[in-house]
Amino acid sequence: MRKSGKKLASVMMAAAMVLSLAACSSQSTTETTPAETATEASKETTAEETTEAETEAPAEENQQADIVVIGGGGAGMTAAIQAVQDGATDVIILEKMAATGGNTTRSTGGLNAAGTSYQEDEEIEDSVELFVEDTMKGGKELNDKELVTVMAENSADAVDWVNEIGGDLSVVGMFGGASVKRIHRPSDTSAVGPMLVKTLNAKVEELGIPVLLETKAEKILTDAEGKVCGVTVTDKDGETYTIDCTAVILATGGFGANSDMVVEYKPDLAGFCTTNHGGATGDGIAMAKELGAAFVDMEQIQTHPTVNPDTQTMYTEGVRGNGAILVNKEGKRFVNELETRDVVSAAILEQTDEVCYLLFDQAVRESLAAIESYIKAGIVTEADTPEELGEAIGVDGAALAETLKTYAGYQAAGKDEEFARESMELPLDKPKYYAALCAPAIHHTMGGVKINTATEVLKEDGSVIPGLFAAGEVTGGVHGGNRLGGNAVTDIVVFGRIAGSSAESYVTSNGGHTEQEIEAEAGSEAAAPAVQGDYKDGTYEGTGKGNNGDITVEVTVEGGNIVSVTLKEHGETPGIYEAAEKGVTEAIITSQTAEVDAVSGATNTSNGIMEAVGAALAEAK
Ligand SMILES: Cc1cc2nc3c(=O)[nH]c(=O)nc-3n(C[C@H](O)[C@H](O)[C@H](O)COP(=O)(O)OP(=O)(O)OC[C@H]3O[C@@H](n4cnc5c(N)ncnc54)[C@H](O)[C@@H]3O)c2cc1C
């Protein structure tokens, strides 16, 4: 059991900065500098507190946390929040850049989810099976189907979770590779990334999770048994020190901005520009490699078809999803615009000068707020007629007008005779007309560290690296040979949450909690009835429908009261169901009824447990 000492970061919720027992000391650099916390809350840290912290953490002591999350992007912040929601009190996020967000900030289109209430409201018929089928097809069946299934099964809960922590994913749209409207966006149709990062930042701050900005993780340390035990970091002053910990969540994102690494795995992409932020350099891949992690699909690197070749601005697929078409320099369509990214990118590379134009009308512009940012950036040409637009961009105006007329005919007939595009939202006949030059650019690295469905990082022999979890673009397997637009944001929320829960469970079962927390736990009351039950004593079984099939529970009644509820059989997702199991069963015992509140972000599992307990109690009346 580790012993706790003094906490350095003043904004951390309940945990204390602890003096190290030097579990990793033989492998660690021990010079410690004051941690710089980065949330708004940290800015409120007083000079007095900082001085005190410096005094209390002499240079020889390592810093310490239960869980260190490497990477303050979408997956990392989600994981940290979920870990704390599950009961962790000592979580730190490391972010090497000056701000959190990573590529997540840049994400535009949205988050794919099947079976949401928003789809139901629009009578969109979708299912986990169809989501899995589309994702596998889009990924050329290279995807790890188990991971894809877990992503799809938990996608509706992911939408609820984001909304419950203050986000806004309530509009459903069409995106490339999806059979039905599945991508969830903010209600004002603005880009998903800024909304998500703002929401996550606010929650991280609310929960008091310290974020150490401009602090780069250099190496993950392991003990003699191969268990993770710390992270070596370098802060913005160039100081190197170690944070001892029980678990690490690797959430460093992809390597789309590391051209050497991209070319190493896919030489054809030499010279391509990138849509990625500067921090997407594959650090997590390098750190995991040192620990003997296995990797999958490293050569699977996606280009996004519609990127401005001068400014590298990506035009979200939502523009095409909402109705835009693609034309070449001859003013002609050349592909089903809603095909997967690899297909559309390859088609563009066959056109004159390897570029094309995204073409749309006023109705498309009005349907998507993201378009305003492109117009504001001066990268869209506009005109009153197709002919004038053609003249402005150096394309035959008559050809452009003919293409639009033909397309309007297909749209009216509901059949695209040339390219079999299925979703044709608008006739593209409402002036003004708009054109934006595009070419493919490196966008997403599908390959990465191999994980199981609990996000544990695996070695080549299939064994886990104890204490190491990973989520988001640093991992491989979910997207296979081609990622569908909207699936990465689902990936980071679903697997970020699982990583947070799994790491917290690992810390709990490895005695990693700080002494204060353990004392608090020891003193806490077990769930006890707040009201008297009125049931026949005995043990009863009941079954309800959870997220992934039936959940069977055993309910024990003593002295008329429900005294325990145990999950006997279920197929719920590890890392998600535990929160529902704990929250719902405690609430049932406290209130002596099966009708309690569902646990946020695990609604289906919670409802399944309640239904099962209700069935069991029917026997006990
Ligand atoms: C322009 C653009 C638009 C996109 N649009 C969509 C979309 O609409 N829908 C969708 O599903 N997907 C979209 N994607 C993909 C999606 O945004 C990313 O795959 C996803 O956000 C990655 O999240 P992440 O948390 O894994 O990584 P990131 O968000 O990139 O976060 C990783 C963080 O780790 C930090 N880091 C890296 N190394 C270290 C280190 N050594 N120490 C400390 N910190 C480190 C990085 O600086 C970064 O902040 C888009 C991507 C781009 C580039």
Our mutation pick for probing the ligand 1 site, out of 103, 255, 301, counting the most ligand atoms within 8 A of Cβ, is 103
Task: Report the predicted TM-score, pTM, of the whole model to 2 decimal places.
Answer: 0.76
**Predicted pLDDT of residue 425:** 83
Segment 502-509 shows an average pLDDT of 95
Task: Decide which of 374, 409, 438 is a domain's last residue.
Answer: 438
**Predicted pLDDT of residue 402:** 98
Segment 2-11 shows an average pLDDT of 32
Q: Tell me, yes or no, whether 164 lies in a domain.
A: no
Task: Decide which of 389, 406, 438 is a domain's last residue.
Answer: 438
**pLDDT tens readout for residues 487-505:** 999 999 999 999 999 999 9
Please say if the pLDDT value at position 514 is more than 70: no
The strand ranges marked E within 381-474 are 381-383, 433-445, 448-450, 456-458, 464-470
Same structural domain for residues 434 and 323? Answer: yes
**Predicted pLDDT of residue 319:** 95
Rounded CA-CA distance 573/329 in Å is 49
**Predicted pLDDT of residue 147:** 98
Residue nearest to atom 4 of ligand 1 (CA): 107
Write down the residue that tokens 């590529």 correspond to. Answer: 103
Q: Is 104 in the pocket of ligand 1 (CB under 6 A)?
A: yes
Q: Tell me, yes or no, whether 465 lies in a domain.
A: no
**Predicted pLDDT of residue 19:** 27
**pLDDT tens readout for residues 551-588:** 999 999 988 999 899 988 888 877 678 778 888 898 89
Backbone φ and ψ for 603, nearest 5 degrees, come out as -60, -45
**Predicted pLDDT of residue 9:** 36
Please say if the pLDDT value at position 399 is more than 50: yes
Q: Residue 431 belongs to a domain with what CATH number?
A: 3.90.700.10
Task: Decide which of 438, 453, 476 is a domain's last residue.
Answer: 438
**pLDDT tens readout for residues 203-254:** 999 999 999 999 999 999 999 999 999 999 999 999 999 999 999 999 999 9
**pLDDT tens readout for residues 68-96:** 999 999 999 999 999 999 999 999 999 99
Cα of first residue to Cα of last residue in the chain, in angstroms, is 45
Assign 423 to helix, strand or coil: coil
Confidence of residue 512 (pLDDT cuts 50, 70, 90): low
**Predicted pLDDT of residue 61:** 60
| Torsion sign over Cα 460, 462, 465, 470 | positive
CB 136, CB 147: distance < 8 Å: no
**Predicted pLDDT of residue 609:** 93
Atom of ligand 1 nearest to the CA of 215: 43
CB 272, CB 95: distance < 8 Å: no
Confidence of residue 532 (pLDDT cuts 50, 70, 90): confident
Q: Is 361 in the pocket of ligand 1 (CB under 6 A)?
A: no
**Which residue range is the domain that position 425 belongs to?**
319-438
Question: What percentage of the chain exceeds 90 in pLDDT?
Answer: 74
Q: Tell me, yes or no, whether 543 lies in a domain.
A: yes
How far does residue 472's CA lie from ligand 1's centre (Å)?
A: 8
When mean pLDDT is compared across 129-138, 329-338, 513-522, the lowest value belongs to 513-522
Confidence of residue 307 (pLDDT cuts 50, 70, 90): very high
Confidence of residue 513 (pLDDT cuts 50, 70, 90): low
**Predicted pLDDT of residue 29:** 30
Number of domains within the chain: 2
Segment 275-296 shows an average pLDDT of 97
Higher pLDDT, 38 or 491: 491
Tally of CB atoms within 10 A around 22: 16
Mean model confidence pLDDT for the chain: 87
**Predicted pLDDT of residue 600:** 67
Segment 116-127 shows an average pLDDT of 96
Q: Tell me, yes or no, whether 5 lies in a domain.
A: no
How far does residue 621's CA lie from ligand 1's centre (Å)?
A: 53
Q: Tell me, yes or no, whether 161 lies in a domain.
A: no
Q: Tell me, yes or no, whether 349 lies in a domain.
A: yes
Atom of ligand 1 nearest to the CA of 74: 25
CB 316, CB 323: distance < 8 Å: no
Render the burial of 164-187: b for 16+ CB within 10 Å, e for the rest: ebebbbbbbbbbbbbebbbbbbbe
Segment 411-432 shows an average pLDDT of 96
**pLDDT tens readout for residues 328-350:** 999 999 999 999 888 999 999 99
Q: Tell me, yes or no, whether 67 lies in a domain.
A: no
Q: Residue 571 belongs to a domain with what CATH number?
A: 3.90.1010.20
Q: Is 307 in the pocket of ligand 1 (CB under 6 A)?
A: no
Segment 299-324 shows an average pLDDT of 94
**Predicted pLDDT of residue 342:** 87
Rounded CA-CA distance 567/587 in Å is 15
Which of 106, 185, 333, 341 is an active site residue?
Answer: 341
Please say if the pLDDT value at position 23 is more than 70: no
Cβ contacts of residue 463 below 8 Å, gap of 6+?
none
Higher pLDDT, 568 or 397: 397
Residue nearest to atom 10 of ligand 1 (CA): 486
Q: Is 485 in the pocket of ligand 1 (CB under 6 A)?
A: yes
Confidence of residue 125 (pLDDT cuts 50, 70, 90): very high
**Would you call 341 a catalytic residue per the annotation?**
yes
DSSP per-residue letters across 177-239: T-SS--EEE-TT---HHHHHHHHHHHHHHHTT--EETT-EEEEEEE-TTS-EEEEEEE-TTS-
Higher pLDDT, 60 or 304: 304
Our mutation pick for probing the ligand 1 site, out of 489, 490, 494, 497, counting the most ligand atoms within 8 A of Cβ, is 489
Q: Tell me, yes or no, whether 366 lies in a domain.
A: yes
Segment 141-167 shows an average pLDDT of 97
Cβ contacts of residue 375 below 8 Å, gap of 6+?
365, 382, 434
Atom of ligand 1 nearest to the CA of 491: 11
